[in-house]
Chains A and B, each alone.
Chain A
Amino acid sequence: MPDQNSTPDTAARGPVMQPSGREVPVAEHFVAPVLDDEGRAGIETQLADKPSNLWRDAWSSLRRNPIFIISALLMLFVLFVAAFPTVFTSASPDSQCTLSNANGAPTAGHPLGFTNQGCDILARVVHGASASLLVGFGATLGVLLVGILLGGLAGYFGGWVDAIVSRIMDIFFAVPLILGAIVLMAVPVMRQNAGIVTLAIVLTIFGWPQMARITRGAVLEVRSAEFITAARSLGMGKLSILFKHVLPNAAGPIIVVATLSLGIFIVVEASLSFLGIGLPPSILSWGHDISAARPQLRTNPGALFWPSLMLSITVLSFMMLGDALRDALDPKGRTR
């Protein structure tokens, strides 16, 4: 039977072999011309131009992501404001308040006007940034420590360790973050010691299960990989495997959740301060200012608007940053 294995008009037609003698059907034996780069399937030594790994890949995709660029610039701006408030205003946020300026319109040197108490709005907004960020970063740090440790142990050791940690996690999950914080902050001991550190601790207490759950999941995924077995047969201890091999591989999702949590903690701090149970009045906070500006909303909306805008920008920048990081670090969400 004739065989049209290579069309007659193909240039790439090689020598035709005639199978000798046998009863094999007379089919064409097509051989492609040998190209330079084939037939040499030796040890592959060619390498990509640039070394790459998860972080470098993530960075190169982040660099081209407008959301990341915008959110990173916003975040840097907020951090700069918090670190160097005097660059933006020379006015003092609390010691130069005079009631004669109450609800005053913007004047030279006070571009945003005055609050009900006669304080400079710009100064209050600028100086309020540090408290929000400190609470946010403090709580995130606490959540990272507790969440990674407990989640990592639960995921890596499994069994009864996992059972206990997971049940504790469920209990804390059942309490909404804000509600839990309100209740705990109302306890006298907490009230007396109210401050940035106390608030961060309270937020950590109710915020860690989220982080622990993510860590546990990521660790479970890595734990059965063969490189973990290889490390075990090297004689490495369980804890050193956990810290040297398992956790670094779980870093991606942990970073994403940490960034998102930071935004949430800043919101919660503002909410609690708004309710009057977060930071004490002696510490400047956007939440306080928003709360204090409420009665004069109709006459002096600027006093409420500016701290709210700063709060929104700060939270938005962390949330967007978290989203951008998730796109870059989570291979499942990556669109390639």
Chain B
Amino acid sequence: MSTSTESTNPGGRRRADRAAAPTATGSSAAGPGNTPLLELRNVGITFKTTTGDVEAVKETNITVMPGETVAIVGESGSGKSTSALAAMGLLPENGRISEGQVFFHGEDITHPSRKRLIALRGSEIGMVPQDPMSNLNPVWKIGFQVRETLKANGLPHADKDVVQALKDAGLSDGERRMNQYPHEFSGGMRQRALIAIGLACNPRLLIADEPTSALDVTVQKQILNHLEKLTKEKGTSVLLITHDLGLAAERADRVVVMQKGRVVESGPAQALLQNPKHPYTQQLVRAVPSLTPEDIGAADEGDAAQEIVQIKELVKEYKIRGSWGRSTQFRAVDEVSFTIRKGHTTAIVGESGSGKSTIAKMLLGLEDITSGTIHVDGKDISTFSNKEWFGFRRRVQPIFQNPYGSLDPMRSVFRSIEEPLRVHKVGDAKSRKEKVYDLLDRVALPRQLGDRYPNELSGGQRQRVAIARALALDPEIVVCDEAVSALDVLVQDQVLKLLGQLQEDLGLTYLFITHDLAVVREIAHDVCVMESGKLVEVGSVEQVFENPRQDYTRRLLDAIPGKDLLEV
């Protein structure tokens, strides 16, 4: 909560009381407790491009009080990161603050001098960047990179200080960790190292730009818990940038919702969530699966439904090449058995590396089966001849994750959707054309989209095209491999609804691979939970969500951001 924490700064490890920090008197003559730490007043940010100036952010007001956590929420391209970067003077070359003012603790830092900016960064404003994989320099040891930060801000930088910073960020054996390179760290550990760097100089404000969006939910929860504890202790204010409204509401005191470069709504997290006023926020709240679960997809007919796919003791082993031709076996999928009911959605959930995608690939015939069997309609797919495989592929079609990689950029939308029909020699040119238009109608895309190329389409539109392509051959089973994970929530909601509608209309069977349990609750009928290649829990959605039998499942469920807000 936003209490005055100026006097209760326990982080005096390196820095004495900071209350004496020089502050130019701002426009507000309020007392020290009432001066916002960061204030964006009516800020507009303009980018210079070859086609003229583009105003990316307009009339934006964001205030962060001392000790407060404020979250900026918005979809990609809404200007949330740009606003935060502007506060730190980190806009790209072609961007500038064209309007309004930025205040840091009452001091106008809209156009700071270079010197002042360098003084502000690190020691006053820290940053945890988004991608833990690319934001650590791979050729330097972690310890060196933390030390660099301390040194740059004129703080003691002996080994013990570095170890302390790493320990604060939750890397307990700091002595060993500081001598390791980034590639020896897991994603979560790297993010901790970045947090260590961001907080090393006890900044008064920490800007965290999607700090956990690349991590598994359970890791995300740990990291955010730790970040919260740390910033509470030190009295640091946090500006959290996220696309996840559930996460924002759970972690922040106040939430700012941005759309197309404007703040559409801002207020206390709870109030905003329970009583959104702006139509965009209302849509957003409705679309977040973890906040308002709704049932998408065909009605569950219970056990009466026929089992279309039976998977028995499925094993996939990969050879990992060692030195001198020695190789070891790695079990990506370890004796997995489950069944998929016709006309229903079976979801496989698990963290990255749990082997869930490998199962999908084996069902699609893209990977060989090491042992075990997959029966589809009672036929063992591993005994198929090439010709049988060709016929079988008409019945099982995939939809992939990356809307930017799943369509051939050199082909028009029409030709992409038509291709399955051509490959399988269905109909003549005229009937194919009708079929393609029919499919475009089905996925709610205008017909004139046919002659466009993928680079002109948005992520949601591309995913619709991918769905249309998958449906071209009237398959019975559609394998969705993280099909909605890369989409913004509103678009994700639309695509999920479309998938549900199609299931109802066409009686499709879905195998839905995802890491997002909130999505599972919306769309799936049956759930398989996987952990490091093994199936740990199988059951109906109700069973698994209401009454998880395994610890692992429980942990996954607990980690859904914004979950607790539902019960409020």
Contacts and interface: CB of A to CB of B under 8 A. Distances in A.
Interface of A: 1-7, 10, 12, 14-15, 17, 19, 22, 24-25, 27-32, 34, 38-41, 43-45, 47-48, 51-54, 225-227, 229-236, 245, 248-249, 251, 336
Given A44-B460, A47-B452, A233-B364, A1 B65 contact: yes
B20 interface: no
18 contacts: A1-B2, A1-B34, A3-B65, A5-B267, A7-B41, A19-B271, A25-B268, A27-B268, A28-B267, A31-B278, A51-B453, A53-B409, A235-B393, A235-B423, A235-B424, A236-B423, A248-B410, A336-B49
B63 A226 contact: no
Contacts of B264: 31-32, 38
B267 A30 contact: yes
Report the contact-size class of chain B (Cβ under 8 Å from the partner). Answer: 35 or more
A163 to B, nearest CB: 14
Interface in B232-290: 253-254, 259-260, 262-268, 270-272, 275, 277-280, 283
B410 A249 contact: yes
Given A51-B452, A225-B405, A43 B272 contact: no
Given A4-B39, A233-B397, A34 B61 contact: no
Closest 9 CB pairs of A and B: A39-B279, A29-B267, A53-B453, A235-B393, A226-B406, A31-B277, A226-B400, A226-B405, A19-B271
A233 B381 CA distance: 14
Contact of A41 (B36, B283, B394, B407): B283
Interface stretch (B112-120, B310-318, B442-450): B442-450
Nearest to B49: A336
Given A24-B270, A227-B407, A235-B390, A39 B280 contact: yes
A45 B452 contact: no
A233 B446 CA distance: 27
B561 interface: no
B470 to A, nearest CB: 8
A17 B275 contact: yes
Nearest to A336: B50
Contact of A233 (B280, B366, B409): B366
Contacts of A231: 408, 419
B265 A45 contact: no
B456 interface: yes
Interface in B1-52: 1-3, 28, 33-34, 36, 39, 41-42, 49-50
B486 to A, nearest CB: 11
Contacts of A225: 405
A10 B406 contact: no
Given A30-B61, A39-B283, A41-B490, 4 more contacts: A38-B279, A52-B455, A227-B405, A248-B410
Would you call the interface of chain A mostly helix, strand, loop, or mixed? Answer: loop
A88 to B, nearest CB: 41
Contacts of A44: 458, 460-461
Contacts of B140: none
Nearest to A50: B456
B192 interface: no
A53 B65 contact: no
B263 A30 contact: yes
Contacts of B364: 233
A53 B410 CA distance: 7
Contacts of A6: 61, 266
Given A24-B271, A29-B272, A234-B393, A10 B59 contact: yes
Given A24-B268, A47-B456, A233 B34 contact: no
Interface in B283-338: 283
User: At the interface, is chain B mostly helix, strand, loop or mixed?
Assistant: mixed
A126 to B, nearest CB: 40
A248 B265 CA distance: 47
A116 B360 CA distance: 78
Contact of B63 (A4, A25, A52): A4
Contacts of B283: 39, 41
Given A25-B2, A32-B263, A51-B453, A17 B271 contact: yes
A19 B406 contact: no
B402 interface: yes
Contact of A230 (B65, B365, B469): B469
Contacts of A39: 278-280, 283
Given A6-B61, A27-B254, A245-B408, A17 B277 contact: yes
Contacts of B444: 43
Contacts of B65: 1, 3
A45 B445 CA distance: 7
A232 B420 CA distance: 11
Interface string B479-521: 0000000000010001000000000000000000000000000
Q: Identify which of B266, B272, B365 gathers the most chain A CB atoms within 10 Å of its CB.
A: B266
A61 B264 CA distance: 37
Contact of A227 (B280, B408, B445): B408
A17 B267 contact: yes
A28 to B, nearest CB: 7
A230 B398 CA distance: 7
A4, A38, A39, A249 pick with most chain B CB within 10 angstroms: A4
A172 B516 CA distance: 52
B393 to A, nearest CB: 4
A28 B267 CA distance: 6
A38 B453 contact: no
A15 B267 CA distance: 12
Nearest to B34: A2
A34 B278 contact: yes
B377 interface: no
B53 interface: no
Interface string B52-89: 00000001011101000000000000000000000000
Nearest to A335: B50
A20 B389 CA distance: 63
B400 A229 contact: yes
A158 to B, nearest CB: 14
A235 to B, nearest CB: 4
A317 B259 CA distance: 49
A54 B408 CA distance: 12
B280 A30 contact: no
A54 B278 CA distance: 39
A27 B61 CA distance: 14
B451 interface: yes
A3 B456 contact: no
Contacts of B490: 41
Contact of B280 (A38, A54, A230, A251): A38
Given A3-B63, A249-B408, A19 B263 contact: no
B456 A29 contact: no
Contacts of B393: 233-235
Contacts of A5: 61-63, 254, 266-267
Contacts of B268: 19, 24-25, 27, 29
A17 B265 CA distance: 11
Contact of A51 (B389, B456, B461): B456
A233 B398 contact: yes
Contacts of B110: none
A27 B393 CA distance: 58
B456 A48 contact: yes
Contacts of A234: 393, 397, 419-420, 423-424
